[in-house]
């Protein structure tokens, strides 16, 4: 049975003759491949952007980035809050003891 | 490319939103926890790192000073009302001049009392903080007039310059 299949495949291959390749075919293919590669590298940034998006979507980096935003925001907010609280307290004290003060 | 751009924009927006929310929340919590709305002396505690004992001494001085300060302020407000009535009715009359002098005199009295109070408070603090407090209070209370007067005699203010 397997030998018959093999014989059939050989018969089919022979029945579809492959035309000869035109002269310089391989060179032309290489040239086109080279042109395509340099076009991509001239545009450049889409590949870079894709890589960045792919990198940023990795859970480890996404969580780390959001955690950094959370921590930095909180620290800056606490710093601002302390300064604001001090300013409010100073205004309050000055208003109570010095009506002519310029807080 | 378009999909990558959308993803990156969404990530940046999410990061900015988280940063902003954290900033706002931390600031609110910090202000609410640091300031006790009822306490006039909270600034002294925060700025000059004073303990309960020092704040207790200063509170006594503060509560003794407030009625005097209020009395001066009420007197000045009463004279100011009188002055605007006189100015509206008769313009710059001898009465108006007298009232202006009286107001100025009460203000001087008030400022002298205030400076005396600042000195008493500075003595209730450790020496270094006391000196810093006194300097700061003089700057904030007397310095306001000084800067106004300085701006009037500066060369840019040729119309008001005193030669």
Contact A96 B62 (CB under 8 A): yes
State the Cα–Cα distance between residues B57 and B130, nearest whole angstrom. 13
3-state helix, strand, coil in chain A (%, to 5): 80, 0, 20
Burial per residue of B90-128, b for 16 or more beta-carbon CB atoms within 10 angstroms, e otherwise = eeeeeebeebbeebeebbeebbeebbebbebbbebbeee
pLDDT of residue B155: 62
For residue B147, what pLDDT is reported? 65
pLDDT (0 to 100) of residue A28? 83
Q: Predicted ipTM?
A: 0.73
User: Where residue B163 falls among pLDDT bands split at 50, 70, 90?
Assistant: very low
CA closest to A101 among chain B residues: B141
Residue among B19, B34, B117 minimizing CB distance to A82: B34
Pairs of residues, one from chain A and one from chain B, whose beta carbons lie less than 8 Å apart: 139
Per residue in A22-58, pLDDT (tens digit) is 788 888 888 887 766 555 544 556 778 788 888 888 8
Per the model's pLDDT, the better-predicted residue between B26 and B139 turns out to be: B26
- In eight-state DSSP terms, residue B155 is G
Pairwise CA distance, residues A89 & B42, whole Å: 6
pLDDT at B60: 93
List the single best residue of A66, A75, A89, A95 to mutate versus B (max B Cβ within 10 A).
Answer: A89
**Could you report the per-residue pLDDT of B65-85, keeping only the tens digit for each?**
989 888 988 999 999 999 998
Distance CA A3, CA A17 (A): 23
Q: Which residue of A has its CA nearest to B65?
A: A97
pTM for this structure? 0.63
Q: How many residues does chain B have?
A: 163
Interchain CB distance below 8 Å, B66 and A86:
no
pLDDT on residue B156: 60
Of B20, B14, B6, residue with least CA distance to A66: B14
Q: Residue A78: its pLDDT value, please?
A: 94
**Residue matched to tokens 């940046």:** B12
Inter-chain CB proximity A74 and B25 less than 8 Å = yes
The more confident residue out of B158 and B33 is: B33
């Amino acid at each position: 049975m397997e030998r018959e299949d093999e014989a059939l495949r050989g018969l089919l291959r022979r029945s579809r003759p492959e035309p000869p390749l035109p002269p310089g075919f391989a060179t032309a293919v290489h040239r086109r491949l080279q042109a395509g590669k340099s076009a991509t590298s001239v545009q450049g940034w889409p590949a870079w952007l894709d890589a960045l998006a792919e990198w940023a979507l990795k859970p480890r980096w996404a969580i780390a980035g959001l955690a950094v935003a959370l921590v930095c925001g909180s620290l800056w907010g606490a710093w601002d809050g302390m300064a604001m609280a001090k300013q409010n307290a100073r205004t309050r004290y000055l208003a109570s003891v010095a009506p002519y003060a310029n807080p | 490319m378009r999909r990558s751009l959308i993803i990156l924009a969404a990530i940046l927006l999410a990061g900015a939103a988280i940063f902003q929310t954290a900033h706002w929340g931390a600031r609110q919590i910090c202000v609410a926890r640091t300031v006790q709305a009822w306490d006039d002396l909270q600034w002294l505690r925060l700025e000059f790192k004073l303990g309960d004992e020092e704040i207790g001494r200063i509170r006594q001085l503060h509560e003794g000073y407030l009625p005097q300060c209020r009395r001066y302020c009420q007197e000045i407000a009463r004279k100011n009302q009188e002055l605007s009535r006189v100015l509206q009715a008769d313009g710059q009359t001898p009465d108006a001049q007298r009232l202006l002098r009286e107001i100025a005199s009460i203000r001087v009295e008030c400022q002298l009392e205030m400076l005396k109070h600042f000195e008493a408070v500075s003595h209730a603090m450790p020496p270094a903080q006391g000196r810093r407090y006194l300097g700061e209070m003089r700057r904030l209370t007397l310095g306001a007039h000084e800067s106004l007067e300085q701006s009037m005699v500066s060369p840019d203010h040729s119309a008001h310059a005193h030669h």
